[in-house]
């Protein structure tokens, strides 16, 4: 009885399934880049050497994995911290009903590995924040299929922090890891190419993202008018008060969602509010964005094409923002988003924060501006500074209970009372960035005397 020999990678590369790619990678064309060299080595690079990281294994991520695997990429990694839910199955086609409750990254990787023998997908069931720069340095290209602005900003900051500079302050090109970012919302979507340090980054165009919906706590607690108000009340107040399961709220736990649904329905009945549904509760708890399978397919295809062009240098990459809308017919256009000289992440200069009157502006006012201004949009900033005597001082830090209690009194003090001068720099850390950012206070009238 003969024993089957293991598959030969070189034979796999010669398969007829790659003839279409060979036409592109082994022949010259009118639109090829000047530095492109047609060669069979290009396909071999895709299959055996090029490492691509896909962040997110949801609607976009499933499409990206399928597209890149079928385009010849042989070494893919995927990160996702979520588990599969029943509502995912209508558009996240790599999953089946038997996969419900399992890791998205692991199930997606297993599906692709079984269906595309020339591709190996390595799953990572965790958060992107669980890895440091040594992990991200392994990849040639990173492509994002995220539904979180915070996660986008974090990976954007990570890639910028990995840049190396020459003696003349120019960027070492070898340290650049391109990022392709895709996003969808209903029948609208976008794709963009980011070359860290050279093109507009996520923070440069932060105002393009839709603002997060936040409901005033006083309205939620006293005069609810919408079904969303009832859900937020249970989420923010009743959950902590009653602690039904003795654990933090988990938006992926059906028991947790069911409990919030029942309590929200009770509160809605109390205020004669209609419209509470299980799906609405899920949407409010997890900030679910409406998704359409066809939009995901279009945007993922655009992202995959840019990954292919960057990996092979066969054509110029997109410059640099693609917008798609098929709400009324099909409409798309591409434009070049400009790099901002005052970008919070990729500019070297401290960001100015204008203060009208330091004697009436409190530290709490400053934190509120950092969270609400479109160019900052921080989540829970921690502020430190170096005082005139050279000592470092923590102004406020919410993440550590003992420090929060010790610095809480600073929130109600004015900048003048805290001894913060015009031009003073504040160092700020936040979940939106893996590195600290610097803010410089700019007082409107220097003639204002400090208290």
209: phi > 0 → left, psi -120 to 50 → alpha, else beta; which?
beta
CB neighbours of 218 closer than 8 A, spacing ≥ 6? none
Contact yes or no for 199/310 (Cβ under 8 A)? no
List 32, 107, 201, 218, catalytic entry = 218
Sign of the Cα pseudo-torsion (100, 102, 103, 109, in order): negative
Sign of the Cα pseudo-torsion (215, 221, 223, 225, in order): positive
Q: Which two tokens stand for residue 123?
A: 């799953």
Nearest-5° angle of CA 224, CA 235, CA 403? 115
Q: Residue 84: beta bridge partners?
A: none
- Residue 375 sits at φ, ψ, to 5 deg, of -80, -10
Q: What strands lie across the sheet with 425-429, from one edge to the other?
A: 351-355, 437-443, 425-429, 382-386, 392-396
Q: Is 371 a catalytic residue?
A: no
Q: In 3D, which of 340, 347, 339 has the Cα closest to residue 440?
A: 347
Contact yes or no for 342/207 (Cβ under 8 A)? no
Q: In 3D, which of 143, 145, 135 has the Cα closest to residue 178?
A: 143
Q: How far is CA 337 from CA 320, 323, 341, 347, in A?
A: 6, 11, 13, 15
Active-site residue list: 218
């Amino acid at each position: 009885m003969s024993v089957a020999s293991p598959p030969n990678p070189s034979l796999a590369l010669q398969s007829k399934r790659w003839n279409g790619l060979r036409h592109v990678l082994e022949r010259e064309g009118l639109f090829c880049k000047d530095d492109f060299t047609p060669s069979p080595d290009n396909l071999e690079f895709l299959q055996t050497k090029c490492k691509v990281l896909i962040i997110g294994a949801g609607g976009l991520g499933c499409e990206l994995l399928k597209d890149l695997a079928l385009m010849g990429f042989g070494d893919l990694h995927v990160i996702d911290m979520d588990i599969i839910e029943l509502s995912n199955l209508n558009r996240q086609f790599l999953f089946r009903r038997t996969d419900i409750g399992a890791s998205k990254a692991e199930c997606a990787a297993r599906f692709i590995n079984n269906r595309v023998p020339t591709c190996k997908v390595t799953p990572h069931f965790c958060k992107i924040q669980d890895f440091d720069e040594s992990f991200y340095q392994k990849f040639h290209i990173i492509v994002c299929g995220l539904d979180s602005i915070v996660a986008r900003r974090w990976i954007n900051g990570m890639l910028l922090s990995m840049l190396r500079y020459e003696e003349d302050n120019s960027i070492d090109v070898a340290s650049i890891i391109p990022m392709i970012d895709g996003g969808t919302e209903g029948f609208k979507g976008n794709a963009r190419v980011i070359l860290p340090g050279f093109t507009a980054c996520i923070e440069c165009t932060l105002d393009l993202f839709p603002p997060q919906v936040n409901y005033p706590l006083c309205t939620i607690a006293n005069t609810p008018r919408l079904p969303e108000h009832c859900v937020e009340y249970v989420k923010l107040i009743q959950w902590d008060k009653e602690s039904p399961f003795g654990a933090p709220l988990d938006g992926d736990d059906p028991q947790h969602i069911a409990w919030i649904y029942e309590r929200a329905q009770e509160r809605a009945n109390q205020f004669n509010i209609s419209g509470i549904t299980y799906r609405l509760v899920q949407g409010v708890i997890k900030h679910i964005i409406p998704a359409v399978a066809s939009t995901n397919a279009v945007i993922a295809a655009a992202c995959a094409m840019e990954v292919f062009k960057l990996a092979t240098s066969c054509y110029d990459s997109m410059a640099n923002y693609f917008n798609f809308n098929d709400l009324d017919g099909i409409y798309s256009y591409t434009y070049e988003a400009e790099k901002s000289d005052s970008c919070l992440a990729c500019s070297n200069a401290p960001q100015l924060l204008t203060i009208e009157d330091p004697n009436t502006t409190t530290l709490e006012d400053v934190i509120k501006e950092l969270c609400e201004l479109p160019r900052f949009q921080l989540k829970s900033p921690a502020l430190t500074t170096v005082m005139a005597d050279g000592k470092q001082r923590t102004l406020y830090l919410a993440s550590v209970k003992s420090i929060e209690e010790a610095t809480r009194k600073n929130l109600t003090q004015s900048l003048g009372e805290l001894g913060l001068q015009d031009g003073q720099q504040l160092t700020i850390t936040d979940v939106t960035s893996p590195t600290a950012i610097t803010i410089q206070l700019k007082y409107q009238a220097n003639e204002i005397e400090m208290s």
